[in-house]
Amino acid sequence: MARFGTGRARGFTLYEFAIVVIITAVLSTVLLHRLDGYRRAAEEVAARQTVAALRVALQVEAQRHPDTLATLAQQNPMHLLARPPADYLGEFALSEARRVAQNGWVFDPRDKTLVYLTSERERFASGKSELPRFKVELTRNPADAGKHLMSLALNEVGAQGGRK
C-alpha cells in the first residue's frame, strides 16, 4: 500500500484548534451580549405595556365608579386588570425585595406604590434606589362649566415618593 505524504497524520494541529476555539469564544460572547440587550429591551417594553394597561383600567374604573375614587387610589391597581401580568409577584414591603428572586412588579402596601424590580438589582446596591415606582393619585380636571372633576392617574414617583 502506497502512502501519500510524509507519514504524518492529517488533521488539525493544536495551534489551529486553539485558534478555532478562540474565534468561537469571541463570536459567542458577542452573540450573548446582543441577546442580553434584546432581553432588556423586551423587559422594558413589557413594563411600559403594563403601565399603559393599568392607566386604561384606572380610567375605565373611574368612569364606572366615580364615587369610589379615593378608595381606588389606596388599592393595588393590579387588581383592576382582568388578569395580572405574568411578571406580577404580589404584595411585598420594599424592604423584603431582597427575598424576591425574580424580576417583576411588586405592590408595596406601606406607601401604596407599584415598583418594578429589575433583573439588574446589583446597580441599586449603593442605597440609592432608582427603581421605577408608580402611584395611583387623585387629580383634578377642569370641566366645561368651571367645576373641577376628580379622576385617577398612575404617575411615576421618585424614590422619596415625589413626582418625577
Give per-residue pLDDT as tens, 62-95: 888 888 888 888 889 999 899 999 888 888 876 6
Residue 126's pLDDT band (cuts 50, 70, 90): very low
Enclosing H/E stretch for 104: strand 104-108
CA dihedral (110, 113, 116, 121) positive or negative: negative
Rounded Cα distance between 144 and 15, Å, is 81
User: Cα–Cα distances in Å, from 154 out to 54, 135, 149?
Assistant: 8, 6, 17
Model pTM score? 0.68
Rounded Cα distance between 12 and 147, Å, is 84
Rounded Cα distance between 68 and 20, Å, is 67
φ and ψ of 76, to 5 deg:
-70, 120
157 or 95: which carries more pLDDT confidence? Answer: 157
Tell me the percentage of the chain whose pLDDT exceeds 70: 71
Query: Is 117 in a helix, a strand, or coil?
Result: strand
Residue 131's pLDDT band (cuts 50, 70, 90): low
| DSSP label at residue 83 | S
Q: Say if residue 92 is exposed, middle or buried (CB neighbours under 10 Å; 0-12, 13-18, 19+).
A: middle
- pLDDT tops 90 at residue 102: no
Name the average pLDDT for the chain.
78
Contact yes or no for 161/113 (Cβ under 8 A):
yes
Residue 56's pLDDT band (cuts 50, 70, 90): very high
Q: What is the pLDDT of residue 50?
A: 92
